[in-house]
A and B are shown apart, each in its own frame.
Chain A
Amino acid sequence: MFLLREPPANGGFMIAAYTVVAVVLAGYSVMLMVRARKEEKREQ
């Protein structure tokens, strides 16, 4: 006989982890783009 049960309700941890990853990756990408733009301006 199979015992069916609901999966644990821990979606908050998943949302927190995905949010942190998105913020860090997007933030670092933007920071690099800004640094690159500044360096290009210094060059000119």
Chain B
Amino acid sequence: MTSSDARGAARRALRAGRVLTGLGLLAVAAAYVRAIAFTDIEAVQGPAQKIMYVHVPSAWCAFLAFGLVGICSGLFLWLGDRRLDTFSEASAEVGVVLTGLVLITGPMWGKPIWGTWWQWEPRLTSTLFLFFLFVGYLTLRRTMFDPAERARYSAVVGILGAMLVPFIHLSVYMFRTIHPRPVVLNPEGPTMPGSFVATLLSSLAAFTLLYLGLVTMRYGLGRLRELREARHVPAA
């Protein structure tokens, strides 16, 4: 692929990312309307239960983002394609934003329901570690100037970070914890009324669309920057 082909592909990714992000934001707005105005208030937890419709999709997309970082990092180490490294960086950045939302909305639900903002229990603590680990991953990338070395080291950290994701999902089964078990992805099937599940699934779809838009736009941005920097590096 020539340099101008690569720049054309990056610009196309940016355009696609903008469109998908716009659609994703509209879908999230529609999911808000459905959750707030057209979904019943849960009798025991009250309106605070509706925080689940933004907390769970944020967590799902964050885990998807970090899972893809792990997969693309592994593929990068195998194939050596720089685009996989750029995608990993894009997905990690979006994942950190989403994990931040998980860590903010979780305590907002915990305070009225548990009576406390935070508990040092396995699910919460390991999610906090995951957040710090990927903040470290992004920091590492900014402190290394050799692109090949940066990509290689980041790939190793990305794979190790992604390995935390299944552990976090299963932590509610492995340890005694006050965090609720998964309400949809659990062996006994959904543990909520059908209308609640439908709202949660529509919110999941909206957040996933927004994640796809953000990661595509961030990937296009990363590729354009890389190609510009490559033009200014003198040949060895």
Contact = CB atoms under 8 A, between A and B. Distances in A.
Interface residues of B, number: 42
B104 A18 contact: no
Contact of B220 (A8, A10, A16, A36): A36
B155 interface: no
A8 B224 contact: no
B32 A18 contact: yes
B108 A40 contact: no
B123 interface: no
B174 interface: no
Give the size category of A's interface with B: 20 to 34
A22 B218 CA distance: 19
Nearest to B32: A18
Contacts of A14: 36, 47-48, 50-51
A29 to B, nearest CB: 5
A22 B101 CA distance: 10
A16 B41 CA distance: 17
Contact of B221 (A21, A28, A39): A39
Contact of B11 (A18, A28, A40): A40
Interface string A14-32: 1011101110111011001
Contact of A32 (B43, B104, B217): B217
A21 B105 contact: yes
5 contacts: A13-B48, A17-B105, A25-B28, A25-B210, A42-B228
